[in-house]
Structure 1
Amino acid sequence: MTGHLLCGLADNPALPGALLDRLVERAVADDAEGAELADALSERPDLGPVRAAALAARDEHVAIRLAHSGLLDAADVDPEARPAVALALLDEGVAPPGWARLLAAHPDRGIRETLASRPGLPLDVVETLAADPDVAVVAELALWTTEPSIAARLAAHPHAEVRRGAAFNEAVPPVALITGEGLAPARSCLVCDREEIPFTHDPYCPRTDCELRGGAACAGGHESTVHEIREQAARNPATPAAAAASLVGDPSMLIRWALAERADLSQELYARLAFDPVLGVRAEAAGNPAIGEPLIRALAAGGGGDEVARSLARHPRVPLDVLAQLAAATRIGPTLLPRIATATPAELAEAAGAADARVRMLVAERRDLEPELRDRLAADPNAAVVRSVAPHPGLSEERLRAVVARHGALVLARVAANPDAPPDLLEELARHDPPVRRALREIAGHRNATAEALSPCLADAKARPRAGGHPALPPEVIVDLLADADPAVGRAAAANPALPVGVMARLLRS
């Protein structure tokens, strides 16, 4: 089978226009492998309208992708025959307005439900969807409509599922859904619509046709849906802080967790949430950018657990001395933290001089360090610090070689990831004995890799597909890789821009 090779050709940026035409014809005509080939071709930026229309006619998924990429014209689509494609064109604002009215009356509930989530619908279409006989369509509209009058009306809808959608809609503050003031109780929910109550849905329900959410329950008061309404309202940023704050003592962990995400509560309420008995609530509050320095310091000193400490470390305004304390007490790992990303040059220089290597490692994750500071970290005696700074652009060949000489295999992969690593150094890293597999995988995709550096990469199963697509490979090696037992390697070789055009043509004739 050559399907993977044809898909590789479809990925090849050097494919001549005449061969691209033949590949499109193959995709349209081939029933067995045409769908996969058409999918690969739809990613190309050079299709043009004629080829795009041919591929769209062959495959619905491809047509939707081409519509979103701006390569499909509304004149080429029948909205009644291909409503999903019509929805994609509506999303892009290139479909006639009448299509929305047509789709609002479509017999497929899924089409109407999807339409209800789209912004900018004409008011008459919104009204049609608000009166839809299927509650799923109305609930979707309640979640997404930007019409305040419609959102307010749906928040008082007699069906609890519609209210659930309205509870997270920012068009109207869902205060009444929290307090219940002026709001008649809901008359039904999805559970009592379908089951004899009292009923609690099995989270592991084996029925393939069941649409109830896991744990959905109703004993006459639509209990699970009412809980979800309150949770959504607690999370909704349009809910006034005072209304949301009334839920801070709620027995539900999920509601308190939702409150911990908010950006508008008082520091006193954040403090309650930050010392909640549930770890997840505490960790969410600890990472909330709205909490102030006093609470950050109290949490850091309180020993709330590693998850809370890691959330604090990711806080964008955590004081650097607190961050140093957290790095010493908790495994954070080599990652660019928000506070380090926004640190001033003076702050970075101070942190880079910390006695604790774990703090210096955090600074080394920045990729825009001043040259003097970058070079100082590259000369650090700690291998973890050096590993973090090794991929930093601008490091000279001399410094990269010094790093390898000092730390050996511990840093090879990160040196190989440096975009400025020169070809001769990559060749030496690739020949390291024993091989450092992570380094080979970095070299396989490196822009400076030579054929000599890529050759050892072909011996590693994970590096081989990346190396197979590298244009520095000799053409004869690329051609040999087309017959590789691993289809991913063959596809990468077929996508290699250095593949001879004659071989591309031969693949198309096979």
Structure 2
Amino acid sequence: MSRRLLPAVAARADLPSGLLDRLVAIAVAGLGPGGDRAAGRELAWTLCDRSDLGPDRVRALAEADADTAVVLARSGLLSPDDADPAVRPRAALALLEEGSGRPGWARLLAASPDREVRWRLASCPGLPSDVAEVLAADPDPGVAAEFALWTADPAVAARLASHPDAEVRSAAALNEATPPEVLAALVTGEGLPPIRSCPVCRRGEAPAPCEPPARARCSGAHESAVHDILERAARNPATPAAIAAQLAGHPSVLVRCALAERAGLSQEAYARLGADPAPAVRCAVAGNPAVGEPLIRALAARRDDPDLLRALARHPGLPLDVLGEVASAVRIGPVLLPSVLAADPGDLARAAASAPAAVRTLIAERHDLPAPLRDALAGDADAAVAKAAAPHPGLSAEQLRTMVARHGVQVCARVAANPRAPADLLEELARLDPPVRRALRAIALHPNATLPALLVCLEDPRARGDAAAHPALPAAVVAGLLDSPHAEVAEAAAGHAALPAAVVERLVAQAERAGPDVAPGTGAAAAPSLPRPGCR
């Protein structure tokens, strides 16, 4: 039990230096032979978030595990002196990605026989020009494609756009540094040499960092790869609008969706896409901030297309009168819409005075409203409107009580989320029978929650983890939660500021006595690998 609580202990801000040394030693032992590497890595990665590790502890963790060395590099804790690319190439790459590596490393890594090393290097910023040339000419198309995706040099991007492999051209099509005239050529195919290979053609080779999807096909014309080029060029804002608009009639929904999401097209082009037979394309147009008011009003008249109307509701330029039409036609849900957030409070007050409840509810989701409008919405006879207004920080305790008395359980959760909800009201809401579970989750997070309310929250499956971390819990209660059968409760208790130092010391000592081995099923899940932006 104590071992699985160590990451929570490692995240404590009050760890003395000696205890921190012992946690590092436990993590290193877990990462070594005979240890549970998943549990050791979880502890090590939690320690990597600390700012007080110091060079010696950082070095010990980096030497124990290559993945942990990468995390330390990306967090800015690993010194270049401890990231020799010949010994720790991935850590050196991470430092280069963060812009803190040494230029000479790039030359060494560019000559690596490991294609993944070269592929990762290709996305690093500020590479020397000679290294850039080497990567652009890499014999592995995946490496050249990664470089084509990230290079900021228009001349290099233009050269890679005519690469014989479609994967490289597709990467150049997405890069905004690629010159507009070259992007136009990628769409039309004019002036470019023929494609000679694509990822599907090369599927029989050794696996690349990003494999093509199983559905990708090539009958000799590289169909899937050419499709990807067009989709990426349509999405790229640097592609000339007039050229991109030619794709409005393309048979692929994905290409038309990419076009519908981009800025810079004419309103006529957006209107054509807004009438597209594919719902996904119409919705992409409806949510595009580049669509002007005349087309917004025309789209709002499509009462037979609820998905389009829901997308249109989130348009930042939606006029309030059109919002009223849309909200009356489809259910939008409890969300603060961009158009409501951007509206003048006076316009909102006028709209709320005559709008249906659905629109008043959307206006009430904005919680910086002037007091008269706020109070009117909080006192609304419609429960949905009052519920939306309930978290407004300007409401008084009496207004919150009145709201609960009038609307009951419908508003309890949002009332409990109000930062000014008093402690006695939170206790009353916690004791409701049957319990309002969403209210319990809000109470567990509320700074005004008291011990009686939190004890109720500790019994709720969704609220107990937050309740166990609440600062209002006394030390004796926190210590008792360490033995909880629920992992989230015990872990929150282990990291709680009220936990006595002697108990923290005992948890670490128990883990030390248990040794590096962990029984099956008690270790943490394997730490996830960090995502690579090149796989798009």
Match of 2:69 in 1: 63
Could you say what secondary structure the match of 1:411 adopts? helix
- Deviation digits for residues 330-360 of structure 1 (CA, Å, limit 9, x no counterpart): 1100101110011111112122223411101
Query: Whose relative contact order is higher, 1 or 2, with alpha carbons under 8 Å and at least 6 apart?
Result: 2
Superimposed CA distance per residue, residues 208-230 of structure 1 (whole angstroms, 9 cap, x where no aligned partner): 99933232222221111112111
Q: CA 1:280–1:37 in structure 2 vs 1: closer, same or farther (change >3 Å)?
A: same
Aligned ranges for residues 76-475 of structure 1 at < 5 Å? Answer: 76-172=82-178, 173=180, 174-194=183-203, 211-475=211-475
Distance in 1 (CA, whole Å) between partners of 2:139 and 2:381 is 70
Query: Could you tell me how far apart the structure 2 residues matched to 1:443 and 1:283 are?
Result: 38
Q: Measure, in 2, the Cα distance between the counterparts of 1:444 and 1:59.
A: 38
In structure 2, the residue matched to 1:204 is none
Return the letter of the residue paired with 1:296: I
CA offsets 1:264-317 (integer angstroms, 9 cap, x no match): 111111110000111111111111111111111111112351110011101111
TM-score (norm 2): 0.90
2:503 & 2:447 partners in 1: Cα distance?
Answer: 24
Give distance in 2, aligned partners of 1:473 and 1:147: 57
CA distance in 2, matches of 1:181, 1:34: 56
Question: In the alignment, which residue of structure 2 is the partner of 1:36?
Answer: 42
Q: 1:214 is matched by which residue type in structure 2?
A: A
Partners of 1:389 and 1:378 in 2: CA distance: 5
Of 43, 57, 69, which residue of structure 2 is paired with 1:51?
Answer: 57
Question: Following the alignment from structure 2 to structure 1, what is the Cα–Cα distance between the partners of residues 378 and 110?
Answer: 62
Tell me the secondary structure at the aligned position of residue 492 of structure 2: helix
Output the CA distance in 2 between the equivalents of 1:353 and 1:113: 60
In 1: Cα distance, 2:227 partner to 2:238 partner:
18
Q: Which runs of 5+ in 1 are unaligned?
A: 197-206
Q: Residues of 1 paired with 2:289 and 2:210: CA distance?
A: 40
Tell me the SS of whatever aligns to 2:248: coil
Quick check: 321-330 or 411-420, which moved more?
411-420
Structure 2 residue identity aligned to 1:192: C
- Cα deviation for residue 184 of structure 1 reads 1.5
| Cα distance in 1 for residues equivalent to 2:100 and 2:175 | 26
Identity score, percent = 60
Greater shift in the superposed pair: 236-245 or 68-77: 68-77
CA distance in 2, matches of 1:407, 1:74: 62
SS at match of 1:218: coil
Contact 2:234 2:244 survives alignment (8 Å): yes
CA offset at residue 507 of structure 1?
0.9
Note the alpha carbon deviations across 1:24-50, whole angstroms, 9 max, x for none: 222222332322211222223443443
SS of 1:392 mapped into structure 2: coil
| Change over 3 Å in CA distance of 1:193–1:28 after alignment to 2 | closer
Change (3 A) 1:373 1:413: same
Q: 1:447 to 1:46 in 2, by over 3 A?
A: farther
Match for 2:196: what amino acid? Answer: R
**Partners of 2:91 and 2:252 in 1: how far apart?**
42
Take 1:264 and 1:144, find their aligned partners in 2: how far apart are those partners?
Answer: 23
Q: In the alignment, which residue of structure 2 is the partner of 1:75?
A: 81
User: More deviation in 333-342 or 350-359?
Assistant: 350-359
Aligned partners of 1:340 and 1:366 also within 8 Å:
yes
Whole-angstrom distance in 2 between the partners of 1:211 and 1:29: 36
- Aligned equivalents of 1:437 and 1:337: distance in 2? 26
Answer yes or no: is the 8 Å Cα contact 2:378–2:390 preserved in 1.
yes
Q: Do the aligned partners of 2:364 and 2:388 also contact (CA within 8 Å) in 1?
A: yes
The structural deviation recorded for 1:191 is: 2.1
Number of residues of Structure 1 aligned to a counterpart in Structure 2:
500
| Structure 1 residues 16 and 371, CA gap change in structure 2 (3 angstroms) | farther
The residue identity in structure 1 corresponding to 2:191 is G
1:24 aligns to what?
24
Residue 93 of structure 2 contacts residue 121 of structure 2 at CA under 8 Å; is this kept in 1?
yes
Would the alpha carbon gap of residues 229 and 72 (structure 1) be closer, same or farther in structure 2, given more than 3 Å must change? Answer: same
- Structure 2 gaps of 5+ residues are 511-536
Larger mean CA deviation between 348-357 and 210-219 belongs to 210-219
After superposition, give the CA deviation of every residue in 1:69-102 in whole Å (9 maximum; x if it has no partner). Answer: 2222111222222222112211222111111112
Is residue 38–residue 59 contact of structure 1 (8 Å, CA) maintained in 2? Answer: no
The separation in 2 between residues aligned to 1:121 and 1:210, in whole angstroms, is 22
What is the alpha-carbon distance in structure 1 between the residues aligned to residue 451 and residue 202 of structure 2?
Answer: 67
Note if contact 1:178-1:243 (Cα within 8 Å) is conserved in structure 2. yes
1:422 and 1:14, CA in 2 relative to 1: closer, same or farther beyond 3 A? Answer: farther
Letter in 2 for 1:239: T
Q: Which moved more, 1:173-182 or 1:10-19?
A: 10-19
Aligned-partner Cα distance in 1 for 2:208–2:116: 17
C-alpha distance in structure 2 between counterparts of 1:139 and 1:304, whole Å: 44
CA contact (8 A) 2:142 2:209 kept: no
Tell me the CA shift for residue 441 of structure 1. 1.2
- Going from structure 1 to structure 2, the CA distance change for 1:45 and 1:462 (only over 3 Å counts) comes to farther
Bigger shift: 240-249 or 268-277? Answer: 240-249
CA 1:83–1:210: 2 relative to 1, 3 Å:
closer
**Contact 2:97/2:123 (CA < 8 Å) preserved in 1?**
no
Q: Are the aligned partners of 1:4 and 1:490 in contact in 2 as well (CA < 8 Å)? A: no
Q: Check the 8 A contact 1:143/1:169 in 2, yes or no.
A: yes
- Please tell me whether the aligned partners of residues 3 and 37 of structure 1 are also in contact (alpha carbons under 8 angstroms): no
Q: 1:384 to 1:289 in 2, by over 3 A?
A: same
Aligned AA (1:321): D
Q: What's the counterpart of residue 502 of structure 2?
A: 502
Cα distance in 2 for partners of 1:102, 1:498 equals 51
TM-score (norm 1): 0.94
SS of residue matched to 1:55: helix
Structure 1 pair 389–62 and aligned structure 2 pair: CA distance change class (3 A): farther
Query: Quick one: which amino acid aligns to residue 64 of structure 2?
Result: R
